[in-house]
Amino acid sequence: MTRYVESTITFPYRRSLGPVLGAFMTALTQRRILGARSGDEVLVPPMEWDPASGAELSGEMVEVGPAGTVESWTWVGSPTVQHPLDRPFAFAFIRLDGATTPLLHAVDVGSPDRMRVGQRVAPRWKPQRIGHITDIACFVPGEEPTVDGEEPTEADGPAADVAGPVAMMDYVASITYRNPVPPAADRAIAASREQRLLGLRCPICERVYVGGRGYCPIDAIELGPDTEIDLPHRGTITNFVVVTPVQYPGQTETEPFARVFVLLDGYDVVLGYQPVIDLPVDDIHVGLRVAAVWASPAEVGDSDGGGMGQSLGSLIGWMPSGEPDIDDPDLVNRIF
Amino acid sequence: MATSRDIAVIGWAQTPMVRQTDLTETQMLMRVISDALTPLGLTRADVDFTCLGSCDYITGQAFSFVSNLDAIGAWPPKRDSHVEMDGAWALYEAWLRLHEGDIEIAVVTGSGRSSTGDPALIYPMEMDPFFLAPLGVDPLTFAALQARAVIAAGIADEQSMAEVAIRARGSGDLAVLLASDYVRAPLRRHDLPPITDGAAAMVLATGARARALVARPAYITGFDHRSECHNPSFRRLDDSPSTRIAAAAAGLGERAVEVAELQAAFTHEEMLLRHVLGLGAGVTVNASGGALRANPIMATGLCRVGHAADHIFGGGSRSLAHSTSGPCLQQNLVCILEDRP
């Protein structure tokens, strides 16, 4: 039975808007909608270039709407978490008054029976606007724009924190993926629980691979259980890097830390990007002899350990073995 | 560009097309590349160039194509490339590369595990990042809006769309299908593609080598792809000018094709494409069942070329394969295959 792992990946993008889209987003904070003039046409959403020819437009912006006419629509009966409304709604092409192209946005009417082509709709603004297409919470039937949760008043201006032009926008998507774990990776992790470092030896070229990589990329064959061998727990540091952590989302390290490359004794195998234990960053050097450090069963938990895609399970790092250094000027070249 | 008409598809293979496979993309490719090469008497050592089509967003892993390289055979060294596109575009790149004249054999693949996540959440990330992605506009919404336009133009109606579904899947009762609820009006469940995991691999060879390896190479005599504006707000959705231009450039007008394999994931897309390409009743369209039967994203288009090549291998003289990418048929590729260069 193949094991599956679920992982939720967040894609936090911050994008620069440029002069045309920036003007559009800035206007949204003021509850105005702008189009881009292209000859006799007014493009909404605005573009910097002509959609057909690619010719650069003048950058002239024209205020449109705020009301418009539904040109086409479809009913979304089961909204996703990414949709602008959490109840059934219509996605519609809305041609705002004064525009020559339709804007795709949500219409909140409660039922598909109340949607029709030709329907007049107006924006329902969010009370706090940041310069983002979702500053328009949705469109609703009628001619007059409204503000979500309150009656419209002339005093209602842009949000205080976006008094100036909007130059950037954030976009965040969070996606949960479910992927199978290759059997070779699971066997490597299981072996690590017994404090064994499992290798897979290609029957054709005899190269040895670690970390549950179940293929020989040289010969392009899958490596099954019959190719497994036990690898030694000692090796030599060939190269290393000291990382000063940047506090990106998910980074747990706060102080500079090392990752080392370990050439195993007697095998042409380098374990890349390994953590070190009981070894200060300043003491790390090429040629240092190290021994594997294994998590005790109590420490194992659910972690598969490893880094950079290598599933090394209970192998949590390497510590000095106390043996004399290896003096070999070629060692430093071994990172693969 | 002056093109050589002496480049041919000489074989291809596809994995079983399933709702969910336990195999990784790399494992699928490992097997399907062997399945494509072995019947030709070739090994990976004979391959001069590889181009792989896949998509990191579907896998949920940055640089996922790097692990797929394990499947191509790194020794002896070969020239390699990747497209974040359907394998049909990998085929296009390989075809261009073979025009250089210094190599003879190329392998292209398309691979994807669509079962990894919810397409309604993954695909909005690939849309316009300012106006569409932030609203989570999903593939079904785009397809439904295009279907409305195609129906309004008189190119399709809900009954003819259901008939496409019945023909593609070889089953279904028209009255029952039309009585079912809309998933996203005017689309019902039968108008939608399945979610499919799968991969395909194809082998190309230049003239003399192709003829030495197989009795009937499927020569690529025309190949073109064109793109429209990324945002459907600016396009006529009842037309596909990029398909029309690509087909003309590929030489569709020179002589009738007997078979067409169209990458139409939705029933109305097949009807629109038939209309735009001017395919008459005498043309057999999507005898394979097309994307309505199996839709391995990133391999679906390459499979269309494979089925069109099968027509030539089996004695046919001219066939067309089409692939598409982006919302509402944004980008379209047309490949013409013939029995002689």
Q: Which of A74, A80, A179 to mutate to test the interface with B (most CBs of B within 10 A)?
A: A74
pLDDT at residue B187 in the model: 98
Task: Say how far apart CA B111 and CA B100 lie, in whole Å.
Answer: 26
Q: Which helix (H) or strand (E) holds B226?
A: strand B218-227
Task: Say how far apart CA B159 and CA B177 lie, in whole Å.
Answer: 9
A275-to-A195, A266, B82, B177, B341 alpha-carbon distances in Å:
17, 21, 32, 59, 59
Contact B184 A76 (CB under 8 A): yes
Q: What is the dihedral of CA B164, B165, B168, B174, to 10 degrees?
A: -90
Residue B225 has pLDDT above 90, yes or no: yes
pLDDT at residue A313 in the model: 84
Within an 8 Å CB–CB cutoff, is residue B257 touching chain A? Answer: no
Residue of B nearest to A131 (CA): B130
Contact B30 A222 (CB under 8 A): yes
Measured over all CA atoms, what is the biggest interatomic distance in chain B, rounded to whole angstroms? 59
Smallest Cα–Cα separation from B300: which of B196, B146, B224, B212?
A: B196
Phi-psi region of A298 (alpha: psi -120 to 50; beta: other; left: phi over 0): alpha
Amino acid A256 reads P
pLDDT at residue A148 in the model: 86
Residue A307 has pLDDT above 70, yes or no: no
Contact B60 A182 (CB under 8 A): no
Task: Say how far apart CA B300 and CA B290 lie, in whole Å.
Answer: 8
Classify residue B18 by its DSSP letter. B
Residue A295's pLDDT band (boundaries 50, 70, 90)? confident
Residue A155 has pLDDT above 70, yes or no: no
Q: pLDDT tens for residues B165-186? A: 999 999 999 999 999 999 999 9
Task: Say how far apart CA A186 and CA A18 lie, in whole Å.
Answer: 48
Task: Say how far apart CA A238 and CA B245 lie, in whole Å.
Answer: 57
Sign of the CA dihedral A279, A285, A289, A293?
positive
Within an 8 Å CB–CB cutoff, is residue B117 touching chain A? Answer: yes
Q: Which residues of A touch B136 (CB under 8 A)?
A: 80-84
Residue A157's pLDDT band (boundaries 50, 70, 90)? low
Classify residue B51 by its DSSP letter. E
Q: What is the dihedral of CA B296, B300, B302, B306, to 10 degrees?
A: 100
Average pLDDT, chain B: 95
* A106, A97 contact by CB (below 8 A): no
Residue B2 has pLDDT above 50, yes or no: no
Interface of A with B in 190-249 (CB under 8 A): 205, 213-222
Task: Say how far apart CA B271 and CA B261 lie, in whole Å.
Answer: 12
Interface of B with A in 160-199 (CB under 8 A): 182, 184-187
Q: Which residues of B touch A178 (CB under 8 A)?
A: 115-117
Q: Which residues contact B198 (CB under 8 A, 6 or more apart)?
A: B14, B15, B16, B17, B18, B21, B28, B111, B112, B294, B296, B299
pLDDT at residue A162 in the model: 56
Average pLDDT, chain A: 90
Cβ-nearest to B141 among A9, A91, A214: A91
Which residues are bridge partners to A140 per DSSP? A122
Lowest mean pLDDT among A108-122, A136-150, B250-264: A136-150
Q: How many CB atoms sit inside 10 A of residue A75's CB?
A: 22
* B140, B185 contact by CB (below 8 A): no
Mean pLDDT of B78-96: 96
Residue A70's pLDDT band (boundaries 50, 70, 90)? very high
Lowest mean pLDDT among A2-11, B150-159, B214-223, B287-296: A2-11
Contact B60 A7 (CB under 8 A): yes
Residue A306 has pLDDT above 80, yes or no: no
Instruction: For chain B, list the domains and their CATH numbers.
Output: 7-117+194-213 (3.40.47.10), 119-191 (no CATH), 221-338 (3.40.47.10)
Q: What is the pTM of this model?
A: 0.92
Q: pLDDT tens for residues B309-322? A: 999 999 999 999 99
Within an 8 Å CB–CB cutoff, is residue A167 touching chain B? Answer: no
Residue A253's pLDDT band (boundaries 50, 70, 90)? confident
Task: Say how far apart CA B137 and CA B131 lie, in whole Å.
Answer: 9
* B116, B296 contact by CB (below 8 A): no
The vertex-A33 CA angle with A31 and A36, nearest 5°, equals 155
Task: Say how far apart CA B68 and CA B91 lie, in whole Å.
Answer: 17
Smallest Cα–Cα separation from A305: which of A213, A209, A182, A188?
A: A188
Residue A151 has pLDDT above 60, yes or no: no
Smallest Cα–Cα separation from B138: which of A104, A131, A8, A133?
A: A104
Task: Say how far apart CA A197 and CA A71 lie, in whole Å.
Answer: 64
Residue of A nearest to B143 (CA): A74
Instruction: Give B136-160 as a DSSP string.
Output: T--HHHHHHHHHHHHHHTTS--HHH
Which residues are bridge partners to A8 per DSSP? A176
Q: What percent of chain B has pLDDT over 70?
A: 99
Mean pLDDT of B59-79: 87
Q: pLDDT tens for residues A189-212? A: 899 999 999 999 999 999 999 988
* CA A269 distance to own-chain centroid: 32
Cis bond before residue B76 (omega within 30° of 0): yes
Q: How many CB atoms sit inside 10 A of residue A194's CB?
A: 11
* A316, A277 contact by CB (below 8 A): yes
Mean pLDDT of A224-239: 96
Interface of A with B in 91-120 (CB under 8 A): 91, 93, 101-106, 112
* B198, B24 contact by CB (below 8 A): no
Q: What percent of chain A has pLDDT over 70?
A: 92
Smallest Cα–Cα separation from A171: which of A21, A4, A332?
A: A21
Task: Say how far apart CA B261 and CA B294 lie, in whole Å.
Answer: 13
* B308, B285 contact by CB (below 8 A): no
- Both tokens of residue A263? 């050439």
Which residues are bridge partners to A122 per DSSP? A140
Task: Say how far apart CA B107 and CA B103 lie, in whole Å.
Answer: 12
Q: Which of B181, B230, B234 to mutate to test the interface with A (most CBs of A within 10 A)?
A: B234
Query: What secondary structure, in 3-state letters, does chain A show?
Result: CCCEEEEEEEEEEEEECHHHHHHHHHHHHCCCEEEEEECCEEECCCCCECCCCCCECCCCEEEECCCEEEEEEEEECCCCCCCCCCCCEEEEEEEECCCCCCEEEEECCCCHHHCCCCCEEEEEECCCCCCCHHHEEEEEECCCCEECCECCCCCCCCCHHHCCCCCEEEEEEEEEEEEECCHHHHHHHHHHHCCCEEEEECCCCCCEEECCCCEECCCCEECCHHHEEEECCEEEEEEEEEECCCCCCCCCCCCCEEEEEEEECCCCCEEEEECECCCCHHHCCCCCEEEEEECCHHHHCCCCCCCCCCCCCCEEEEEECCCCCCCCCCHHHCCC
Q: Which of A103, A104, A222 to mutate to test the interface with B (most CBs of B within 10 A)?
A: A104
pLDDT at residue A98 in the model: 97
* A158, A129 contact by CB (below 8 A): yes
**The complex's ipTM?**
0.93
Q: pLDDT tens for residues A83-103? A: 999 999 999 999 999 999 999
pLDDT at residue B292 in the model: 98
Residue B59's pLDDT band (boundaries 50, 70, 90)? confident
Within an 8 Å CB–CB cutoff, is residue A138 touching chain B? Answer: no
pLDDT at residue A336 in the model: 82
Q: pLDDT tens for residues B90-147? A: 999 999 999 999 999 999 999 999 999 999 999 999 999 999 999 999 999 999 999 9
Within an 8 Å CB–CB cutoff, is residue B232 touching chain A? Answer: yes
pLDDT at residue B116 in the model: 92
